Structure 1
């Protein structure tokens, strides 16, 4: 009963304040919509809405509660995606697999690029398709990009060269799409808004 009671007190308090503050009114609607999405198990949408609510008035109680929800949902969604991406992936290029298949010719690749993902690392390999010899090219610690506690990015990772990649899976969880969204430099984080590098991977095992 304690959590529902806190929620009701928060909403009641915000209703009174919102009458004189349009920002709080908007924050309240975002928060309520986020709660609704959460109850429907639409966790990605709920995360986005809680993130918005937390940034409108971060100093008030609804803002602070929203940040807690963001943190909780990020942890949950990261665990969910991690359970699905652990394994070996073959790099298909910068286009979806269906496009690669449609445009492919009979050329046979002698070297394939593989990525192995575990709980702590990302390992990059080259595979000789004739000899099946596998050569480790580089390894990266698996580190989530989490500069802003209240942002909605839950599947972005940062590599040792400072590049930040957002990762997503298709419904079947057998195609991994990564896109370079930013780079961290000495001057801060530079967002990439055009001509982003992309890579598509298909799951091997």
Structure 2
């Protein structure tokens, strides 16, 4: 019985070692691929792959190095995105501009958002008088689920809502999607019927 127990233990240990080796090999593959994208300045793909590598074995050297790269790449990508997003935006509705109806043009009030490197200011503007009234001001605060998370464009507002910001540089259209809400009990993901809005840059 004792010999049988030893045999089972040895087989179990060998299996675990094989699984660990396979995991490390997979991690190394993702890390090397991430480095190749990084060298090509394809920072988005590099971030995704470094994120995967950091989660596979966070305690080893590759895992630790990957998490450093994730943090650095988030900063690079956020700064690059912010250089395009800073400015004044007009909300066009909850659908892309090419499927908008005439109703948006009939509205007497326009919703305007001014984005700086630190603040997001929300206004209502009377179309006739061009007078703007500030509705609220928010700090521009990025949301980080965890250190290894690859999401870099999510922002969190003071009410706990988390918005994913997607910029189309060719059309200068900004799409924001409410992807989650942070409460006292945690973060609740929103996977269906997400609230969203589209903005066009006017200044």
TM-score greater than 0.5 by the shorter chain? yes
CA distance in 1, matches of 2:171, 2:52: 28
Q: For 1:134-183, what per-residue CA distance to the aligned partner results, in whole angstroms no more than 9, with x for missing partners?
A: 00000101100013011001110000000000101103261111111111
Residue equivalent to 1:131: 129
56-65 or 186-195, larger mean C-alpha shift: 186-195
> Which of 161, 164, 168 does residue 163 from structure 1 map onto?
161
Whole-Å Cα distance in 2 between the matches of residues 145 and 123 of structure 1? 18
Q: TM-score scaled by structure 2?
A: 0.88
Matched, 1:87 2:91: no
Number of aligned positions between the proteins: 187
Q: Which residue of 2 aligns with 1:98?
A: 98
Q: Work out the CA distance in 1 between the residues paired with 2:138 and 2:104.
A: 33
1:18–1:97: structure 2 CA closer, same or farther, 3 Å change rule? farther
Paired position in structure 2 for 1:34: 34
Match of 2:13 in 1: none
Q: Would the alpha carbon gap of residues 115 and 132 (structure 1) be closer, same or farther in structure 2, given more than 3 Å must change?
A: same
Return the alpha-carbon distance in structure 2 between the equivalents of residues 107 and 32 of structure 1: 51
Partner of 1:113: 111
Q: Judge which range, 18-27 or 29-38, deviates more.
A: 18-27
- Cα distance in structure 2, aligned partners of 1:121 and 1:91: 17
Structure 2 equivalent of residue 145 of structure 1: 143
Instruction: Give the direction of change, closer, same or farther, for the CA distance of 1:98–1:199 in structure 2 (3 Å limit).
Output: same
Contact 2:92/2:104 (<8 A) preserved: no
5+ residue gaps, structure 1: 1-16
Quote how far apart the aligned CAs of 1:194 are: 1.0
Residues 166 and 179 in structure 1, CA contact (< 8 A), matched pair in contact too:
yes
Instruction: Give structure 1 regions of 4+ aligned residues with deviation exceeding 4 angstroms.
Output: 17-20
- Offset at 1:57? 0.4
Q: Distance in 1 between matches of 2:86 and 2:41?
A: 23
| Cα deviations by residue, 1:40-96 (Å, 9 ceiling, x for unpaired) | 221111101100100000000000000000001000000001111111000011111
SS at 1:77 equivalent: helix
Question: What residue in structure 2 maps to residue 66 of structure 1?
Answer: 66
CA distance in 2, matches of 1:28, 1:18: 15
Q: Secondary structure at the match of 2:73?
A: helix
Q: Identify unmatched segments of 5+ residues in structure 2.
A: 1-16
